[in-house]
Amino acid sequence: MTDQLQLGLADRKRGQEANLAAAVAAHRRYREAAEIVLDELVASGQPFTAEDIRRGVPTGIEPHSPNVLPSLIGNWAARRLIVPCGEYRSRRRSRRASRNRVWVANPAASAA
């Protein structure tokens, strides 16, 4: 029998996939740019945050939705390419000092 947590996680995954699919339309370059930055950060082996990814995306490339970056990070985490290694309070006003994760490349993924 499926429990509520499994249903919720399945819904979240479907939402992330739909958001990321919408981010690859020909006129939308944010996902591609963010993935390039994310790949470089993972390759560095150093801890990073969503803010590091945002800073790395070239000026003028904007997401179609504020959920593209969280969906991208969630996708990489679900694939076990990155793992959380800490938390921090956001300084972005729109995030209202929310807790956010610090990420690092999954050592097990790089060894595989």
Q: Is the pLDDT of residue 25 over 70?
A: no
> Which pairing describes strands 82-89 and 99-105: parallel, antiparallel, or unpaired?
antiparallel
Does this model's pTM top 0.75? no
What does the alpha-carbon distance between residue 30 and residue 66 come to, in Å, rounded to a whole number? 11
Whether pLDDT at 26 is above 60: no
Q: Please give the CATH number for the structural domain made up of 4-105.
A: 1.10.10
Q: How far is CA 78 from CA 48, 60, 73, 110, in A?
A: 17, 29, 9, 15
Extents of the domains making up the chain:
4-105
Closest CA to 90 of 78, 82, 102: 102
Rg, C-alpha atoms of the chain? 15
Summarised one tens digit per residue, pLDDT across range 66-94 is: 889 999 999 999 999 999 999 988 777 77
